Every structure is written in structure tokens, then in C-alpha cells.
Structure 1
Amino acid sequence: MLKQYNYVGPSEIQAQLNSVPFSQPVDTAQSLLQQLHQLNNDLHESPFLTVTFVIDKEGNLRICDRHQEHVACARGRPVLSAGEMTFAYQNADYHLERITNQSTGYCPEPDSWQVVDSALKQLGIQYPDFFEPAYDFRRCPRCTQINLIKDNYYYCAVCETDLPAFWNCDQKG
């Protein structure tokens, strides 16, 4: 059975759910292209477009503007993975350049890559072979702060408490 991630971020962010448009599932390469063009309706001042993504419980890819929270993209529901995707715009087309699991709202583990891989494979597009970078998250047992682990440094950034070796973000303290 695939692991589901519930929203573990601040309640103030979750309370803003109804103020953002609902993202539609991306089920074909054409629907991906349409949504990317819609998100980047500027004149492509930058050759890159980074979007927020989730893989919902049904295995569907959903994307939103990078400035939207993952919980809004998922409409508050549990997800199988979440993070960011960066696309390069070339010759009137987008190419998926980079995917991360960076989401402090859901804190998906790096092994959630398998569901991202499955969703992207269905689209028939080229994409990277793994999360780059891949992140680990831990909740501090002392102050309950969620920490993004960097360089295998398992200490809370707020109170410097040792962090557990295993994922615990769903625990509130």
C-alpha cells in the first residue's frame, strides 16, 4: 500500500484553501502544456517556470502556481507526494528539467518518487530519473518545528534538539 501524507503545516495556511482556484488533474501531455501556458501567461521573460505539484490519492498529477501552497493544490486532501517541478521553455514547448519533494506542508519522503514517476510516465513526456534534490523532513520532538534536513544535520534549526532518524512529521509533539 502506498503511503499517504496528510497536511502537517500551519493551520493558518490550511484556512486559506477556499481562496484559491482548484487545480485540475493533468492526465495528458497536452493538458500539461495547456496548464503550463495558463500559469505562465506572461511573455516568457524567464526561460524557466517552477510550479507547485501534488500527486493526489488517485495518483493524478496536479499543478499550481509556485506561490500557492501544496495544501491548496491538493484542496486540503491527503497526497501521495508533493514538491516543485521546474520546466524550461524552449521552442514554444516546455521540458521538465527538475523535480524536488520540497513541501513543508506535507513533508513527503524521498521514496514517494515512485508515484511521481508513475504519474509522469502516463503523460508520455521526458523527465528526470529522481528528485533533485531529495529532501528528508523531521518534526522536532521538543518544539514541534518541522525541519528540512540538509547535509545529514539532524538537529532542530530552532531549538537545536536532536531529531529522530525516522520520519515523524505527522506527530504534533
Structure 2
Amino acid sequence: ITEECNTLKLSLASVQKEREAAEEEVKLLNLRVHSLENVVRDLQESAENANQFDSERKTALQQLQDKQAQLEQLQQLNSCVESKHAQTISALHKQVLELEDLRKAEEKCREELAQEVQRLQKEAEEQHRSLEEAERLKEKLVEVSFQTSGELKVTEWVADIWQNSEITVYV
């Protein structure tokens, strides 16, 4: 019985270490979740900025088209007015190009953030599976710790874990 108790104590200590490691992993996962939430928030802000830039670009493009139409009418009437409108058109054209560049940059940033979100989600899923496996091992240890039928069941349980899991158990 003393040897069985010692074996159970060693198994309990090992699983407690695994539990502590799992708790530490949970803390890391919580940090990653927070990081992921920040990335998602940044992605949403980026999408809003991209929409705003696109809207501004469309507005500027519409203004450019309106000014170009006005310019065509005024070319027949007054060369002085034509010069002023040409300057306005040039400025609006430049603004459209700048807004287009900003929109493209925001779109690229949003794509990079989306890729980062996917990478972090995959990591979180892998860590979640590891936590589930650690929880299963913890439950199995609780079952084993209440059994009093001898060292054979503990040995069978450890062998079962080694065969059915990627987790290394130290007894």
C-alpha cells in the first residue's frame, strides 16, 4: 500500500505540474486573446478608414468630373475662368490620386491584419486543444487517485496515456 501511495503521489505531483503548466498556458492564451482583440479592433478601424477614404475619393472624383464638365462649358466663354478651373481640376486630381494611394495602403494594411488574425486564430485553436487534453488528463488522474486496486491500474493508465496522447507524462 505504501508503494501504491508513493506511486499515486508521484502521479498526482506530475499531473499537478501539468495543471500548473496548463494554467500558465491559459494565461498566455488570455494575453493572445487580448492581442487578437486589439488586432480585430485595428482591423475594424482600418476598414472604417478605408471606407472613409473611398467615400472621399468618390466625392473628389465626382467633384473632378463636375469641374471638368464646367471647364468645358467655360472654355467657350472665358479663358481667365478656364485657368482657375484648370488649377482646381489639377488640385482635385492630385487629391484623388493621394486618396487612392491612401485607400490602397489601408487595404494592404487590412489584408495584413486579416492574415495576422488568421494566424492568431490557428494558434489559439492549437492551444485550446492542448488545454482540453490537459483537462482530460486531470480528470483521468482524479479517477485513478480514487481507485485502490493497486499499482497495476496506475501502470495501465500511464501506458494508455502514452499510447493515446502526444503529451509526455513524467511518473
Shorter chain as denominator, the TM-score bin is: under 0.3
Does 1 or 2 have the higher relative contact order (CA < 8 Å, sep 6+)? 2
Q: Flag the structure with larger Rg.
A: 2
Q: Normalising by structure 1, report the TM-score.
A: 0.18
TM-score, normalised by the number of residues in structure 2:
0.18
Q: Which has the higher helix share?
A: 2
